[in-house]
Structure 1
Amino acid sequence: MAITVEKEGTKYIETHLRGSQLLQSSHLNKGTAFSTKERELFHLIGLLPHSVETLDEQLQRAYCQFSLQADDLQKNIFLNNLYNTNETLFFRLIREHIPEMMPIVYTPTAGLAIQRYSDEFRKPRGIYLSYPEREHVDEILSQWDDDKIDLIVLTDSEQILGIGDQGANGIGISVAKLVVYTLCAGINPRRMLPIMIDVGTNNPDLLEDPFYLGWRHPRISPKEYHKFVENVVNAINEKFPHVFLQWEDFGKKNARYHLDRYQDVMCTFNDDIQGTGAVAMAALLNALKITGTQLSNHRVLIYGAGTAGCGIADELWRQMVKEGLNHQEAYDHFYLMDREGLVTGARDKIDYFKAPYACSSTEPSEWDPGDDPRELLDVVRNVQPTILIGTSTVQGAFTREVVTTMASQIERPIIFPLSNPLTLTEAKPEDIIRWTGGRALVATGSPFSDVEFRQKSYPVAQCNNALIFPGLGLGVVSSQAARVTASMMDAAIVELASSAQLNEDNTRLLPEVSRLMDVSKDIGVAVARQAILEGVARKRVNGNIEALVENNMWEPVYIPYKPLVVINSK
């Protein structure tokens, strides 16, 4: 397949595929929208109903079919089947209905779909690098042209969303992320690749499931695992030296290790760490505008010190340092809680990425007798946080007493229950608004409707990573950046924060999902500009950076086809 531009400026696609082979290509299939001339040229007469439809007519039918599905899982299955049949129609349909369909193809429904992946399997998509086939990694990657892949989303599926180890089923999260890259930033779906590293699973339900499609084996040892991942990364780096590699849903220890290990080796990014931190930081920047305060004047309590929680802490810590605090002063503004309770220096062993945030080992001993550093309410009472962030996946952890205790200590409490999906959120925004008398500034991880309280509407922002990573990827791909730098992340955060239109009547801390395409484009421009300024862009740019980014945005429209004539060298 090749896209050609005629002298008059009209684009068309050349392909050697004919007949049923063309209809079976999800990249190229137009279904009933093949023109009469194309049907003749590509031997499609008789393989399609007589009527020739427009894309808009196909959209109407597809939306009716979507609406008839019984539940969200069935809607997800319908859309994936459409994806496997007609890629252009799939992306155009969702773009036309993005507020309704984004939660179906991405969070929260993606989690359920991944759990059901083996049961509902229809067609493979992407690459499965299984440990028993580790000698064939180079051979597997060789099936793709090295100049036609711009972006890879890689997962080992150890910690999928809020549902844990999903083994080979986790390929679904890589696919979903790439769908969002296209929907929200227009990155060409034919230049991206989802990859699943199958190193076994410790999920007993999957190991006993007769339909499970992955390698039926417990996860391999850490030594074997890190050697395998290193081999995979080296093979990717050699095959696709200019690719943007995103790590997705690795376990907390491995996620941090891989980012630290490879971020100076290739252009790489971890959405669970950096993306989550960036979106939360953008929302907080706007909360700080409303409260008229600096972040360095706040005390931050993060309930859930895993990959996401520590990623948020790192981003907020960087902001405090930029505001003038030294490193230790900034760390002293944080309190992290994990499954063992408050992270303190008294512990025998602390994960290296948590250790800088460990509070004084003597601090809890100075609390009121009977207060327990393992209990959130007691920590809130003693720490007196002004910002409370939840990444724990503990449903209802932010109880009325926790919220009202915090709200009694500050005029405008900032409370972000960010856990996904809806069933795992720490608190519902309507409860937080009601318990604080409308004083709290709220952002959530899952989508919630705005809250009506005392005849006033309170906007609820969703800290959806789709607000940041598609635009970041667009900027990286457009500039062909060799690295993702801290300043590039800062540029994305500032652009995202500024895209929320704050005023007296609207305190929504982040833009609506319906504006994702415009927001992602602006972020892409900001990131590409910063990459060029820092000298990490491989792309030479003469002139308009906005035009550069726009030229890298794929549109889900049908382009005329012409037969590609294959010349026989014999």
Structure 2
Amino acid sequence: MPSQDYEQDTSTRFGPLRIKARGRAVMSNPTTNRGTAFTIEERKALGLIGLVPSQVTNLENQVRRVYEQYTRTSTRLGKYLHLSGVRDRNEVLFYRLLTSNLEEMLPIVYTPTIGEAIERFSHEFSRPRGVFLSIDHPESMADAFRNFGLGPDEVDLVVVTDSEGILGIGDQGIGGIQIAVGKLSVYTAAAGIHPRRAIPVVLDVGTDNLGLLSSEMYLGERHARVRGEKYDEFLDLFVHTVREMFPNAMLHWEDFGTTNAHRMLTKYRDEICTFNDDIQGTAAVVLAAILAAVDVTGLVLDDHKVCVFGAGSAGVGIANLVRDAMLRTGASETEEEAYSRFYAIGINGLYVDDQPELLPFQRPYARRRAEVEHWAVADPNHITLEDVIRNAKPTILIGTSTRGGAFSRHIVEEMASYCARPIIFPLSNPTSRAEATPADLLTWTDGRALVATGSPFGPVDYDGIRYQIAQANNALIFPGLGLGVATCRAERVTEGMIAAAAEALASMVNAYRQGAPLLPTMSDLRMVSATVAVAVAKQAEREGLAREPLTDPIQQIYNRMWQPVYPPVEAI
């Protein structure tokens, strides 16, 4: 990476760090700083004598020290801010701490704590990290990227949000930069994407959050969210600027509003290498859990009926990928037959074809009014989840509604009455918004439910068996996908590559043992990411989209996985 302070080849895990800076400038840069781990020789060469304590320590002792500090912090937000401070001082130390405690710290640097950090962004602001692009100053966009200091061949990922649909908390304005930063932390910790080969971006298009607009502390543009033609022009300028300046980068869309998320993905997916984690990442990890669960039921995927409760961007994305899997592997011969296996429910109840409010991406899942006219329901114009369970008898129930407790005891017991092994995934985040808890689901089904959740839940003891609860966390998919794309320099991200990622993830579990989880645990994330990356890169090559030949995929993936260790230092 070109810099006035240092040089390093970030395309390989073995690149030495060649430092131009001297003295305090070395210590103030998180890339070059290693604090007390500088050797005496390095201190002399870099002008650090007297600027650090006399004792030379190693990275392991530094990790112990900052972990002790971390454990003394009592609140989740406090822990997040402590880790952010470590990253701002010493990048290698931060990632070594994170990767050594990934299962414990992932909920702090990512969901669910990242939601609180986003809400508090303007109040807790310290060191800016990322690129802030204002719709009021589109002419500054290229300059903003140039100021970030990366060249065309030095960027693998650009993670961007416009902050309209942040997690379950909605429009958060400029604070959404934190979700992009959090995603990139996971890309690095889980898949070894070099931290200097990724750019977090927030598109500041205003906000409709009146609490933010009325706060004197708010750091974003102070006007309502811009929509329509001006918004589209700004997005188009952004996409074309990224494509021109960073031609090898995958553009990762994050937490856009429902309408824009699908619209942007549809518009650009055949034009650039792009991926929407809320739609495709969620779908892939849920498909993997479904494939593992379906194996346990003894039925083929095509024999199942799927109810999606909360069929917005994420819900329809899941349905689309499961539908494609049915078409690829099942008995369904036509798309119409595959669509007939799904029941999509939104705010106005079951999607029915005479509902004018349905968006284009939702309409294929609408049932014909004639199909449901004979159903016994209280209100034909608002067919509820309970109505669908009682009349359609789905065997897979997916919750992406953010309605906490929506999967009631009555609904779950009804499902368990006709289904030997109901597959029930309450996926909404944070925990308070989960449609049901795993403990309740197992109790209400006598331990028969096959469960995956969106938020992390601890194991459940029921009838003498300890059930490990799978977390359908996108972190099981998107880091490996990004690594695979970067390694082979894929031209596009296709549905075939997404499906390959899901199938690779599903292949890593054995869910037949009673109580076993449907997905790998977060503690196996580096291995999971590498496995997914190999599958994605191979699929890209099969589809003719790999610009870098795969001569030895496993070794090539391994060589690209950056390790948080201090590289050799050369004073120049």
TM-score normalised by structure 2 residue count: 0.96
**Corresponding position: 1:347 with 2:355:** yes
2:258 is matched by which residue type in structure 1?
K
Work out the number of aligned pairs and report it. Answer: 560
Corresponding residue number in structure 2 for 1:184: 190
Separation in 1 of the partners of 2:242 and 2:194? 19
Corresponding residue number in structure 2 for 1:568: none
Separation in 2 of the partners of 1:538 and 1:12? 26
Structure 1 stretches lacking a partner, 5+ long? 565-570
Deviations 1:365-391 (A, max 9, x none): 312253564432222212211111000
**Corresponding position: 1:132 with 2:136:** yes
Corresponding residue number in structure 1 for 2:556: 548
Corresponding residue number in structure 1 for 2:20: 16
Separation in 2 of the partners of 1:559 and 1:370? 67
**8 Å contact from structure 1 (residues 26, 86) kept in 2:** yes
Corresponding residue number in structure 1 for 2:378: 370
Deviations 1:483-522 (A, max 9, x none): 1122211211111001113343453110011000001001
| 1:49 Cα offset (Å) | 1.2
Greater CA drift, 494-503 or 254-263: 494-503
**8 Å contact from structure 2 (residues 296, 512) kept in 1:** no
Corresponding residue number in structure 2 for 1:43: 47
**8 Å contact from structure 1 (residues 501, 511) kept in 2:** no
- Specify whether residues 369 and 16 from structure 1 end up closer, same or farther in structure 2 by C-alpha distance, changes over 3 A only: closer
Superposition map of 1:79-158 within 5 A = 79-143=83-147, 144-158=150-164
Greater CA drift, 75-84 or 487-496: 487-496
Separation in 2 of the partners of 1:340 and 1:10? 55
**Corresponding position: 1:479 with 2:485:** no
Which secondary structure does the structure 2 equivalent of 1:551 belong to?
helix
Corresponding residue number in structure 2 for 1:563: 571
- Specify whether residues 369 and 334 from structure 1 end up closer, same or farther in structure 2 by C-alpha distance, changes over 3 A only: closer
| 1:231 Cα offset (Å) | 0.6
- Specify whether residues 413 and 14 from structure 1 end up closer, same or farther in structure 2 by C-alpha distance, changes over 3 A only: same
**8 Å contact from structure 1 (residues 178, 189) kept in 2:** yes
**8 Å contact from structure 1 (residues 302, 389) kept in 2:** yes
Separation in 2 of the partners of 1:376 and 1:484? 34
Separation in 1 of the partners of 2:541 and 2:178? 34
- Specify whether residues 410 and 503 from structure 1 end up closer, same or farther in structure 2 by C-alpha distance, changes over 3 A only: closer
Superposition map of 1:222-301 within 5 A = 222-301=228-307
- Specify whether residues 362 and 4 from structure 1 end up closer, same or farther in structure 2 by C-alpha distance, changes over 3 A only: closer
Corresponding residue number in structure 1 for 2:172: 166
| 1:260 Cα offset (Å) | 0.5
Which secondary structure does the structure 2 equivalent of 1:245 belong to?
strand
Corresponding residue number in structure 2 for 1:567: none
**8 Å contact from structure 2 (residues 206, 220) kept in 1:** yes
Which secondary structure does the structure 1 equivalent of 2:418 belong to?
coil
**8 Å contact from structure 2 (residues 153, 247) kept in 1:** no
Equivalent position to 1:469, from 459, 464, 478: 478
Separation in 1 of the partners of 2:354 and 2:338? 20
% identical aligned pairs: 46
Structure 2 stretches lacking a partner, 5+ long? 1-5
Corresponding residue number in structure 1 for 2:79: 75
Superposition map of 1:286-365 within 5 A = 286-322=292-328, 323-325=330-332, 326-365=334-373
- Specify whether residues 10 and 272 from structure 1 end up closer, same or farther in structure 2 by C-alpha distance, changes over 3 A only: closer
Greater CA drift, 11-20 or 277-286: 11-20
Greater CA drift, 324-333 or 192-201: 324-333
Greater CA drift, 155-164 or 339-348: 339-348
Deviations 1:218-249 (A, max 9, x none): 01131110110001111111111111110000
Separation in 2 of the partners of 1:105 and 1:258? 27
Equivalent position to 2:66, from 57, 62, 67: 62
Deviations 1:420-446 (A, max 9, x none): 001110000000000010011000000
- Specify whether residues 560 and 354 from structure 1 end up closer, same or farther in structure 2 by C-alpha distance, changes over 3 A only: same
2:128 is matched by which residue type in structure 1?
P
**8 Å contact from structure 2 (residues 321, 499) kept in 1:** no
Equivalent position to 2:541, from 532, 551, 556: 532
| 1:453 Cα offset (Å) | 0.5
Separation in 2 of the partners of 1:421 and 1:445? 8
Greater CA drift, 167-176 or 526-535: 526-535
Separation in 1 of the partners of 2:449 and 2:196? 44
Separation in 1 of the partners of 2:465 and 2:230? 57
Separation in 2 of the partners of 1:159 and 1:454? 40
